[in-house]
Structure 1
Amino acid sequence: MSVVLSNSRVSDDDRRRMLFQGNVFLYSATPSSTKLIEFARELIEEAFGDRDPQTAQFDMPVEEFAALLAELKPRFIHHPTCKKLLPLLMEELGMSLGDTYFDVPRLRTSTSDHYLDSGISYAYHAHRDCWYAAPFCQVNWWIPIYEVVPENVFALHPQYFDRPVRNGSGRYDYADWTAVSRPTAAQHIYTDTREQPKPEEELDLVSDLRLVPEPGGILLFSGAQLHSTVANTSGRTRFSIDFRTVHIDDVRSRAAAPNVDATCKGTTLRDFYQAAGLERIPEELAAAYEAEALAKIT
């Protein structure tokens, strides 16, 4: 059974242990998360000009909307301001910046009424990040930029946390994804033909868990949790930020959530930066994970 803990004051070590057991943490907006969403709003509203970003989809051809996101999202992802604010946010939640590594923050969108569900605004099917070569010690962060409602957030499916799901992760190679598939995202406007790990059996997703944080509120959950984009029927495009963290001790010791069904190739560990100095995660650790993943499928 998964438990949701609100504004918990447990230590980061205890929190990670509980996350790896399938529990979920929800925090109110902090000074740094507020600065982060304010910065995101500046970029978003500058890009959309006179249009309200949350309703602009109803006034724009979908091709124009996708092209705008194709410029906006990388600008946010790689902006130096993000790399300054994320460590401050981690510190506010009691994390050691010397031991914590993070990947770049993604600016996500979920449009209403299936306006744009593919490519640059992909509506994710039920999946675990670990099907996409994420380490099982990964912690996922999710932060809404504007007000959200149950009809435009995402859903967790904790009943599958320790229950295998037949899936296509065995055909997924992270190196191939980063070299070939990820760069073509903006080209997939009407359908998305990129090979991605998906469930290959019927799932019970009715009893999902939807959490609705305030703007700047923070949701933490294990990368091994099954989760999916909610079919947005709210009439407003949802804008959110997500990124991921790992603790170097967990990477070394293999402290992690259980792997019940992932068989993908590669590792995302090379994408992570140390929060204190922005150094990459040690190559020998990434190479070891890559070799272990290959050994399991050969």
Structure 2
Amino acid sequence: MTNIFVDATMPDDERRQKLYQGALFLHSPTPSLNALVAFARELIEEAFHPDDPRTAQFELPVERYVEILARLKPFFIHHARSKELVQGTLREFGCDPELTYFDVPRLRSATSNDYLTTGIAFAFHPHRDTWYSAPPCQLNWWLPVYDIAPDNGLAFHPRYFDEAIKNGSRTYNYYEWNRTSRASAAQHIKTDTRVQPKPEQEIALDPQIRVIAPSGGVTIFSGAHLHSSVPNTSGVTRFSIDFRTVHFADVSSRRGAVNIDSESTGTNLRDFLRVADLARLPEEIVTPYDQVEAPAEHLVYQPTIVPLPAGDLAADAAQASA
């Protein structure tokens, strides 16, 4: 059974434990979440100007659309303001800033009617984040930038939280992904040949839970939940933001959801930043998660930030940091 908590008020320790057991937490927008969405909208709307970003896919050739996303997404993801707003959000939710770590917020886009479903606008098949080298204690925070509908949101497949699935995670190494695949997303327009762990058996997509949140409303869930992008037939592009968190005590004690079927190698834990001061997790508590060795330059991805081409916000490019 999947329990769904709506606007629940409870200590972070209790909330994390329920999340590790498969609960979903839904929360109404907060000041920091609204500010994060407003900042994303500014960048999105400037990048696609004069087109409406939700319908620009019907006005632009796909190559031009990809070019815009290839600049827009890294600029938002690694901007100092994005990090500040996530830090504020986590403080609003009662997370201890000295013990809570987050990764940079990703800006996602899901176009309608199969306009672009690969590479930089990848339409996620059913998957667990643990298949992608996430630790069992990883929690995901997901929020739409514009209001969404049942046919362009996020789906959960709760049957499989406690049921193993044959999958391709044994071929996934996080450090190899950093080395070969992360920077090439914009090159995959017609097909996506990157290693993406998928189910290797037939799975039942129903029953499923579709969360229809307002702009800025957040869904929190365990990275061990099987979830997927709902096939977008809405006629508009869905933009969303997601980021992840881990707690120092849970990382160090290896607490979290039960790993029932992931065989991925490497770990994304070096990507996480402390809410208090953006420090990374100490190496001595990360290395126990390593099953393979890799050159230091592949342990943490270092992006190339390209300034937005025009407008007042482009002047802030110097604030974007790797």
TM-score band w.r.t. shorter chain? over 0.9
What corresponds to 1:71 in structure 2?
71
CA-CA distance at 1:14 after TM superposition: 0.4
Per-residue CA shift, 1:217-237, capped at 9, x if unaligned?
Answer: 010000000001110000000
**Distance in 2 (alpha carbons) for counterparts of 1:182 and 1:199:** 21
**Distance in 1 (alpha carbons) for counterparts of 2:111 and 2:11:** 37
Q: How does 1:109-120 map to 2 (within 5 A)?
A: 109-120=109-120
What corresponds to 1:190 in structure 2?
190
What corresponds to 1:219 in structure 2?
219
CA-CA distance at 1:31 after TM superposition: 0.3
CA-CA distance at 1:292 after TM superposition: 8.9
Instruction: Say if 1:28 and 1:217, in contact at 8 Å, map to a contact too.
Output: yes
What corresponds to 1:5 in structure 2?
5
Match of 2:22, SS state, is: coil
Q: How does 1:248-263 map to 2 (within 5 A)?
A: 248-263=248-263
Q: How does 1:157-168 map to 2 (within 5 A)?
A: 157-168=157-168
Uncovered stretches (5+) of structure 2, i.e. residues with no partner: 295-322
Instruction: Say if 2:158 and 2:207, in contact at 8 Å, map to a contact too.
Output: no
**Distance in 2 (alpha carbons) for counterparts of 1:125 and 1:58:** 24
**Distance in 1 (alpha carbons) for counterparts of 2:285 and 2:170:** 22
Match of 1:281, SS state, is: coil
- Structure 1 residue runs of 4+, over 4 Å off? none
**Distance in 1 (alpha carbons) for counterparts of 2:284 and 2:118:** 35
Instruction: Say if 2:140 and 2:242, in contact at 8 Å, map to a contact too.
Output: yes
CA-CA distance at 1:128 after TM superposition: 0.2
- Residue type of the alignment partner of 2:95: M
CA-CA distance at 1:60 after TM superposition: 0.6
Structure 2 length-normalised TM: 0.90
What corresponds to 1:28 in structure 2?
28
**Distance in 1 (alpha carbons) for counterparts of 2:59 and 2:224:** 38
Uncovered stretches (5+) of structure 1, i.e. residues with no partner: none
Match of 2:151, SS state, is: coil
**Distance in 2 (alpha carbons) for counterparts of 1:158 and 1:124:** 17
- Residue type of the alignment partner of 2:133: A
**Distance in 1 (alpha carbons) for counterparts of 2:51 and 2:260:** 45
CA-CA distance at 1:74 after TM superposition: 0.2
Instruction: Say if 1:166 and 1:200, in contact at 8 Å, map to a contact too.
Output: yes
Match of 1:184, SS state, is: helix
- Residue type of the alignment partner of 1:63: E
**Distance in 1 (alpha carbons) for counterparts of 2:231 and 2:286:** 35
The yes-or-no answer on 1:37 pairing with 2:37 is: yes
**Distance in 2 (alpha carbons) for counterparts of 1:248 and 1:207:** 34
Per-residue CA shift, 1:92-142, capped at 9, x if unaligned?
Answer: 111101100000100000000000000000000110000000000000000
Aligned residues: 294
What corresponds to 1:231 in structure 2?
231
From the superposition, tell whether residues 248 and 167 of structure 1 become closer, same or farther in structure 2 (CA, over 3 Å): same
What corresponds to 2:300 in structure 1?
none
- Cα root mean square deviation, aligned: 1.2
Identity value in percent: 53
**Distance in 2 (alpha carbons) for counterparts of 1:291 and 1:199:** 22
CA-CA distance at 1:291 after TM superposition: 3.6
The yes-or-no answer on 1:141 pairing with 2:141 is: yes
Q: How does 1:42-53 map to 2 (within 5 A)?
A: 42-53=42-53
Match of 1:210, SS state, is: strand
Match of 2:186, SS state, is: helix
Per-residue CA shift, 1:181-217, capped at 9, x if unaligned?
Answer: 1111000001101111100000000211100111010
**Distance in 1 (alpha carbons) for counterparts of 2:45 and 2:169:** 37
From the superposition, tell whether residues 64 and 44 of structure 1 become closer, same or farther in structure 2 (CA, over 3 Å): same
- Residue type of the alignment partner of 2:287: A
Instruction: Say if 1:144 and 1:216, in contact at 8 Å, map to a contact too.
Output: yes
Instruction: Say if 1:265 and 1:293, in contact at 8 Å, map to a contact too.
Output: no
**Distance in 1 (alpha carbons) for counterparts of 2:292 and 2:111:** 38
The yes-or-no answer on 1:241 pairing with 2:241 is: yes
Structure 1 length-normalised TM: 0.97
Per-residue CA shift, 1:244-284, capped at 9, x if unaligned?
Answer: 00000000111100000000110000000000010011111
CA-CA distance at 1:293 after TM superposition: 11
**Distance in 1 (alpha carbons) for counterparts of 2:274 and 2:286:** 14
Instruction: Say if 2:165 and 2:199, in contact at 8 Å, map to a contact too.
Output: yes
Per-residue CA shift, 1:31-90, capped at 9, x if unaligned?
Answer: 000000000000000001111000000011011101100000000001000111111100
The yes-or-no answer on 1:180 pairing with 2:172 is: no
